[in-house]
Homo-oligomer: A and B are copies of this chain.
Amino acid sequence: MSLIIVGTVAFDAIQTPFGSSGKVVGGAASYIGLSASQFVKEQHIISVIGDDFPQSFVDELESRGIQTDGLERRKDEKSFFWEGKYHQDMNSRDTLTTELNVLADFQPRVPQEAQGASFVMLGNLDPSVQLSVLDQLDQKPKLVVLDTMNFWMDIALEPLKQVIKRVDVLTINDEEARQLSGEHSLVKAANKIQTMGPSTVVIKKGEHGALLFQKDQVFFAPALPLEEVLDPTGAGDTFAGGFIGHLARTGDTSFANMKRAVVLGSAMASFACEKFGTERLMKLTKENIDARIQRFVNLVDFDMTFND
């Protein structure tokens, strides 16, 4: 089944205690698309770039079945640019530079070829852009997943609540879940968010894994314990891409299949941390992914039966 993905396609410059990336390709939709392309054959990307953006990356997306009719290219304008610096613990970061450029007045357009998509992934972006995409859809999709962040809660809470009301799954990190719900307990936070619209809530805890909540059901997938985390930028988007990619490939939105989707998303996210930017995601093989999934299975496998 086909998948619409919405989000930034951009440049990042990342500093960590272990090195600097220089200017690399990033953006939520880049990570989501590359990650989902491991699972789903047909995607439509909706985003905007300037004429400074490398055509080679657009070609790479297209070679992976990501159709770019909805990727607006603006002449004489620059792509969105974000620069950030991670703290020593790699769990928090400061934004050094944000240049909106083409994003400043982005009006998304859903191309005709994308209509009828069963799955929609609204990556982190201005909620009014996310809303506009939903408004342009001719048919109600089977599943809409929304990712957002605290930035939009701070400056655009009302439009954000409007989007949240219309989606099936919200993916959000633990601190953002607390901010959005006003509840410290993640169980209570997830319950409260379910009353705001989404029937399913995924709380991403970074190196501490992810929780999947739906009604009274809860599932937990750890993050793989990694020897080295070079750059966590895009890990959450890569998770979301793997999650919706698996659901779109199988067409199955049951809770049991969402659990698989969380494990696959976590496996994909673990790759994203191994190199700066999208580099690691570009070179993944099916064997890499299968081996990583097996590590997840082993990590949590236990058998309580014991004869004594």
Contact = CB atoms under 8 A, between A and B. Distances in A.
B225 A220 contact: yes
A218 B299 contact: yes
A153 interface: no
B220 A184 contact: no
Contacts of A293: 304
B220 A185 contact: no
A89 interface: yes
A204 interface: no
A211 interface: yes
Given A208-B205, A249-B308, A219 B302 contact: yes
A227 B263 contact: no
Interface centre among A187, A188, A220 (most CB of B within 10 A): A220
Given A205-B208, A208-B208, A304-B293, A299 B187 contact: no
A220 B300 contact: yes
A299 B219 contact: yes
Interface in A191-230: 205, 208-209, 211, 218-222, 225-229
A302 B208 contact: no
Interface residues of A, number: 40
Contacts of A252: 306
Interface stretch (A92-100, A118-126, A253-261): A253-261
A188 B227 contact: yes
A154 interface: no
A250 interface: yes
A256 B306 CA distance: 10
A221 B221 CA distance: 10
Contacts of A256: 302-303
Contacts of A221: 300, 302
A160 interface: no
Nearest to A264: B304
A218 B218 CA distance: 23
Contacts of A263: 302, 304
Contact of A222 (B209, B249, B308): B209
A137 interface: no
A293 B305 CA distance: 12
Given A205-B208, A218-B225, 18 more contacts: A185-B227, A187-B225, A187-B226, A208-B208, A208-B209, A209-B222, A211-B225, A218-B299, A220-B222, A221-B302, A257-B306, A259-B301, A259-B302, A260-B302, A260-B304, A263-B302, A293-B304, A297-B304
30 contacts: A88-B184, A90-B184, A185-B225, A185-B227, A185-B228, A185-B229, A187-B226, A187-B227, A205-B208, A208-B208, A209-B209, A211-B225, A218-B299, A219-B299, A219-B301, A219-B302, A221-B300, A221-B302, A222-B222, A249-B308, A256-B302, A256-B303, A257-B306, A259-B301, A260-B302, A260-B303, A260-B304, A260-B306, A263-B302, A297-B304
